[in-house]
Chain A
Amino acid sequence: MNAVYVLWIRQLKRYFRSRARIVGSLGQPLLFLVALGFGFGPIFQRAGQGNYIQFLAPGVIGMTILFSAVFSGIELIWDRQFGFLKETLVAPVPRIMIMVGRTCGGATVALAQGLIVVAICYVAGFRASNFAGWPFAFVFMALIAIMFTAFGTAIASVLSDFQAFQLVMNFMIMPLFFLSGALFPLTNVPRALQIVAAVNPFAYGVDGMRAAFTGGASHFGAAADLGVLGAITALLLGVGSYLFSKIQL
């Protein structure tokens, strides 16, 4: 258990010591919020959909957690190349514990990023409807964080070089984000896009978080959001642990 804790703390220390990483990773959400939020805001309003910032903010928060979580998982490749992974892999600690420690650490970092962006969204004019929704929103944020850290870890367990990272980003993470309903409502989009969103776990995360924050109706239904997210998270944790336990150096 101590091993889980120490690996978790390690991840946090690395994050909080790297000011460049904290600031740098806020650039993208800020840009999305300002460019899209204020840029499309008037059109959104005229189309009768209400305040766009209000709609967009949960999507941008979700995005931050998604990217940060995947990146934390992928850091495994870094640790492999720079050798630190070896130190943990030969230690008399079950690999599942190492995986759990890393995942908790990565997920916490992603969640911290997400919370910073919540604050930024507040500055930009986003308002949660009531405070009762916050704990639920937090649960969804945490699930997104854990799910995609496990996903990143699973990917990083089978990739050994960093070149492949770009591939994963462009062909898996970007589509997950753009085809999720983070940026636009899913209600009136073409059927094909609706189907794609329905098989995208990230869409459920954003949907659930948005409903919890704004108190509006969720697209898939809150129970479906939670169920799908929970199931996929469990699945990815399982797959990630398995692949991690098979790592050879």
Chain B
Amino acid sequence: MIRVQNLVKKYGEFTAVNDISFDVDQGEIFAFLGPNGAGKTTTIKMLTTLLTPTSGSVELDGLNPAVNHHDVRKRFGIVFQDPSLDDELTAYENLELHCILYKVPRKVRKERIERLLGLFELWDRRHDPVKQFSGGMKRRLEIARGLLHTPKILFLDEPTLGLDPQTRNHLWTHVQNLNREERVTVFLTTHYMEEADRVAQRIAIIDHGKIVAQGTSQELKTQTNSDSLEQAFLTLTGSTIRDETAGGIDQLRQMSRMWRGGRR
């Protein structure tokens, strides 16, 4: 379903993704793990038509995201790592907008929105603008939105960051159901090793833009002589802490707050 060969992405001198290759089969749940700044999100961006690779080839369902963007976009759904909601719209409006963009038939639209808002316990707040939501609520809404349409491939980029255990449990149960019943292929990244261990059939570990190991959870544990995936992960990627490049986004958020208070 996903085939990546010798994929490279360079930003000037810096190589974010350095010659990686992997395959994800149809109906598989595949976890892509790595420390901060390892190249996970960059890889997902290339898979989802948001970035063009420097070199190497990518295929989604037999199509090249850099060329057939439109056909590729019809095939996947994604929950982004960073926020991507419209803060000025209400929760319901955000979901409705998504349904229209993804051509969810009008008849099922309402029922699906209701079900997912219910599942993630946001139904009571559906008419509140998203800007009044807490971080966790926004995250839940974002996930609910990602599940509104049933794509062939579902990308989940650190979907559980900042979620409570209840919501995480809901999310993974739902994802596993989708995978079982609708044969949705799932490509996920997470920092919680036990989640990857629980849901993923195969795992790849990326560090400094290179894939350092891939296989089933059991294979990775055997390969590194560890009892847990977490330990295997640490053995493979070392224990130094990585700095993420500080985003201009944080600065901008600061500025926007100033703006809204002052001039707007």
Contacts and interface: CB of A to CB of B under 8 A. Distances in A.
B263 interface: yes
A92 B103 contact: yes
Contact of B50 (A14, A86, A93): A86
Interface in A134-168: 160-162
A173 to B, nearest CB: 17
A171 interface: no
A249 B82 contact: no
A90 B48 contact: yes
A24 B49 CA distance: 38
A81 interface: yes
Interface string A78-96: 1001111111111111100
Contacts of A84: 84-86
A24 B263 contact: yes
Contacts of B97: 6, 10
Contacts of B70: 92, 94
Interface string A177-218: 000000000000000000000000000000000000000000
Given A6-B100, A18-B88, A86-B80, A92 B255 contact: no
A248 B78 contact: no
B264 interface: yes
A93 B74 CA distance: 8
A82 B102 contact: no
Contacts of A92: 70, 73-74, 101-103
A87 B84 contact: yes
Contact of A90 (B50, B83, B88, B96): B50
Contacts of A93: 73, 101
Interface string B93-137: 100111011110000000000000000000000000100000000
B51 A248 contact: yes
B87 interface: yes
B50 A3 contact: no
A24 B85 CA distance: 25
A3 B80 contact: no
A82 B87 contact: yes
Nearest to A17: B88
A5 B96 CA distance: 13
B264 A21 contact: yes
B73 A90 contact: yes
Given A87-B98, A93-B101, A81 B264 contact: no
Contact of B88 (A3, A13, A87, A161): A13
A170 interface: no
Contacts of A90: 48-50, 73, 76, 78
B47 to A, nearest CB: 10
Contacts of A130: none
A215 B117 CA distance: 57
B255 A91 contact: no
A248 B51 CA distance: 5
A20 interface: yes
B50 A81 contact: no
A18 B259 CA distance: 13
A6 B80 contact: no
A21 B89 CA distance: 16
30 contacts: A2-B100, A6-B96, A6-B100, A10-B93, A13-B88, A13-B89, A13-B93, A14-B88, A20-B264, A21-B264, A81-B248, A83-B83, A85-B84, A86-B84, A87-B80, A87-B85, A89-B49, A89-B50, A90-B50, A90-B76, A91-B73, A91-B98, A91-B102, A92-B74, A94-B70, A160-B248, A162-B252, A249-B45, A249-B50, A249-B51
